[in-house]
Amino acid sequence: MTRITRSPATQATAVHHAEARLTVDTPGEGFTELTAAARAFLSEIGAGSGVLTFFCRHTSASLTIQENADPDVRTDLLTALRGLAPRDHGWVHDTEGPDDMPAHVRTMLSDSSLCVPVRDGAMALGTWQGIFLLEHRDRPHRREVVLAFTGAIRHLS
């Protein structure tokens, strides 16, 4: 039999909202970890408990929560994405080159936004979880990710 338990609910007395924009210069196809930048943002604003939203402002790059301990995981994930949306599939949309349409498909398979609970100023990630921007294009790009925290503030800066 499946058993589900729940911690007691916590409530904030006041809700605040803070935003920042990360600019990420990618080297080309691959993963860039954003976890440390998100932690710095939460620290800067004095976040208490709430939710941190990540939003990628692009259609050929995406976001994911994945293992950040073993880089082989990221290598294997790229291999899987290349198999699911290969460059030589015969895509109709190839305005910006052979990596154009596969990048859009790979973004559709992952996420444009993520929401992560924040407790006592820290993201409630699992032990091996990290937040990553996935660049799906072959050449370097400048990407923007919006961070938005909504919740309680421990102290106002």
Region 59-75: mean pLDDT is: 96
Distance between CA atoms of 63 and 118, rounded to whole angstroms?
18
- For residue 58, which of 97, 23, 98 has the smallest C-alpha distance? 23
- Average pLDDT score over the chain: 93
* pLDDT for 88 beyond 90: no
Contacts of 31 (CB under 8 A, 6+ apart): 66, 74, 77, 78, 132, 133, 134, 135
pLDDT value of position 97:
86
Distance between CA atoms of 4 and 68, rounded to whole angstroms?
28
- Concatenating the DSSP letter of every residue in 62-74 gives EEEEEE-S-HHHH
pLDDT value of position 64:
97
Q: Answer for the pair 64, 110: CB distance below 8 angstroms, yes or no.
A: yes
**What is the pTM for the complete model shown?**
0.89
pLDDT band per the 50, 70, 90 thresholds, residue 54: very high
State pLDDT tens for residues 28-42.
999 999 999 999 999
Pairwise pLDDT comparison (38 vs 13), residue with the higher score: 38
- The values of phi and psi at residue 22, to 5°, are -90, 135
Angle at 132 between CA 60 and CA 92, to 5 degrees: 15
What counts of helices (H) and strands (E) characterise the chain? 3, 8
pLDDT value of position 1:
85
pLDDT band per the 50, 70, 90 thresholds, residue 94: confident
